[in-house]
């Protein structure tokens, strides 16, 4: 772990900036030639709009109204009802052979349990291609941090209703502000796209190799220490006969700054509020053709509340998930039954007092797509969760519930 972290800190960052500068310098003349050959269409004619919306209800067959998950779905548990989980409208387009942009607001963000459906920026970035095929590209802006397959996968495509705690606890809302470098051969970029468009639940095109630097305080939050996080990811999809498999490894390192407003009075913490934040994870994906499997696991260190000392300390974390699924057509309807087990033991730096968690969840569900524009998911969750902070100590909740989601794609 320390060896990998050292590589990220002392090797990736200087190589990242030097490599981008070199390629940009070598491509100045080539870009000038490209601009002279701009198509006759205007840039605004290349802008497209799409989106999706998700409506949920989580209270059916509920056995414990005190069971919840703050970072998953704020309508879990007591007083929860019908809930707009997401309302996304996406503006995107290749406005130049070398320039692509992507802007995604969410009109149904929920910053707290008693404040729902606020507009909030999710993505706002542009890609600059460094070669004619855009195999090398640099991404500037707020975007997903390349850590984990399920984190990269759009909620529009994911089968379980929420991302697994183990890897999603690394980056709240999966996004941050920074600069990323991506590389993938043209044929792999095409494959990444097809794995999504064909309904095989791909993660999208985040390159075979991705490296970058980002603030580290997560999306829509200001940087607090000017010591950026560093991230690196390598993932490779390949075919075995007619089956597509993808394997990957990723890691990041930085210093996360807690905010005093998110620390309970009485809890002990470091004077400078800076905490080591580092992880490494492995990924294996077997795409559902028709049987599929996804497994991810990560280990690392980060801030976590210790109830024995009433302190927020750097502690070890571990956890992951394994998911099996089946892709079948019935009278032009698509059915995707799935089962997922997830485990996590560690802190969640984004929650109050870097809340300590131990999660054991089993989720059994099915996604039904009668038409491309509409999906219905039913998922039965059997959950055992211990989550504790300075105020909420010795808190073990377990129970089960049936969760429903209707999704519109447009």
Q: Spell out the domains of the chain, with CATH numbers in brackets.
A: 2-409 (2.40.160.10)
3-state class of 97 per DSSP? coil
Residue 23 CA to residue 14 CA, distance in Å, equals 14
Q: Tell me how many degrees the CA angle 199-202-203 measures, rounded to the nearest 5.
A: 145
Is the CB of residue 293 less than 8 Å from the CB of residue 324?
Answer: yes
Residue 230 CA to residue 11 CA, distance in Å, equals 10
* Backbone torsions φ then ψ of 28, nearest 5 degrees: -60, -50
Per residue in 117-133, is it b (16+ CB within 10 Å) or e — as a string?
eeeeebbbbbbbbbbee
SS3 letters for 285-299?
Answer: EECCCCEEEEEEEEE
Say which DSSP state 112 is in: B
Q: Identify how many contiguous H helices and E strands the chain contains and give both numbers.
A: 6, 17
Nearest CA among 324, 53, 69, 378 for reference residue 201: 324
Is the CB of residue 101 less than 8 Å from the CB of residue 56?
Answer: no
Each residue's pLDDT expressed in tens, for the chain with a length of 410 residues: 654 455 555 555 655 555 555 555 555 444 444 444 445 678 788 999 999 999 999 999 999 999 999 889 988 889 889 999 999 999 999 999 999 999 999 999 877 667 778 899 999 999 999 999 999 999 999 999 999 999 999 999 999 999 999 999 999 899 999 999 999 999 999 999 999 999 999 999 999 999 999 999 999 999 999 999 999 999 999 999 999 999 999 999 999 999 999 999 999 999 999 999 999 999 999 999 999 999 999 999 999 999 999 999 999 999 999 999 999 999 999 999 999 999 999 999 999 999 999 999 999 999 999 999 999 999 999 999 999 999 999 999 999 999 999 999 99
Is the CB of residue 384 less than 8 Å from the CB of residue 407?
Answer: no
């Amino acid at each position: 772990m320390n060896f990998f972290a050292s590589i990220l800190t002392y090797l990736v960052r200087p190589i990242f900036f030097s490599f981008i500068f070199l390629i940009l310098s070598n491509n100045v003349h080539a870009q000038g030639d490209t601009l002279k050959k701009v198509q006759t269409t205007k840039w605004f004619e290349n802008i497209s709009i799409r989106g999706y919306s998700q409506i949920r209800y989580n209270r059916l067959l509920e056995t414990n109204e005190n069971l919840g998950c703050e970072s998953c779905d704020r309508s879990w548990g007591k007083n929860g009802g019908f809930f707009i989980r997401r309302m996304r409208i996406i503006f995107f387009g290749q406005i130049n052979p070398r320039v692509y942009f992507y802007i995604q607001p969410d009109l149904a963000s929920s910053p707290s349990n008693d404040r729902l459906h606020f507009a909030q920026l999710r993505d706002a970035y542009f890609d600059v291609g460094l070669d004619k095929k855009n195999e090398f590209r640099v991404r500037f802006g707020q975007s997903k941090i390349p850590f984990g397959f399920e984190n990269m996968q759009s909620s529009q495509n994911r089968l379980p209703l929420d991302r697994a705690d183990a890897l999603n606890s690394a980056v709240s809302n999966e996004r941050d502000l920074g600069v990323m470098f991506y590389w993938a051969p043209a044929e792999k970029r095409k494959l990444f796209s097809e794995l999504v468009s064909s309904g095989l639940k791909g993660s999208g095109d985040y390159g075979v190799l991705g490296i970058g630097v980002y603030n580290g305080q997560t999306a829509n939050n200001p940087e607090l220490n000017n010591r950026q996080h560093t991230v690196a990811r390598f993932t490779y999809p390949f075919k075995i006969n007619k089956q597509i498999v993808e394997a990957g490894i990723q890691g990041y390192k930085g210093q996360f700054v807690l905010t005093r407003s998110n620390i309970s009075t009485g809890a002990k913490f470091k004077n400078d509020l800076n905490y080591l934040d580092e992880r490494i994870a492995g990924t294996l994906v077997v795409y559902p053709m028709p049987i599929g499997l996804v497994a991810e696991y990560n280990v690392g260190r980060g801030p976590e509340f210790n109830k024995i000392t009433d302190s927020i300390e750097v502690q070890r974390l571990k956890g992951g998930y394994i998911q099996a699924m089946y892709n079948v057509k019935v009278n032009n309807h698509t059915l995707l039954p799935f089962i997922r087990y997830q485990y996590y033991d560690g802190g969640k730096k984004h929650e109050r007092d870097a809340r300590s968690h131990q999660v054991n969840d089993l989720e059994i569900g099915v996604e039904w797509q009668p038409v491309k524009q509409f999906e219905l998911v039913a998922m039965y969750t059997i959950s055992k969760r211990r989550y504790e902070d300075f105020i909420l100590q010795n808190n073990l909740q377990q129970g089960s519930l049936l969760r429903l989601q209707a999704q519109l794609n447009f």
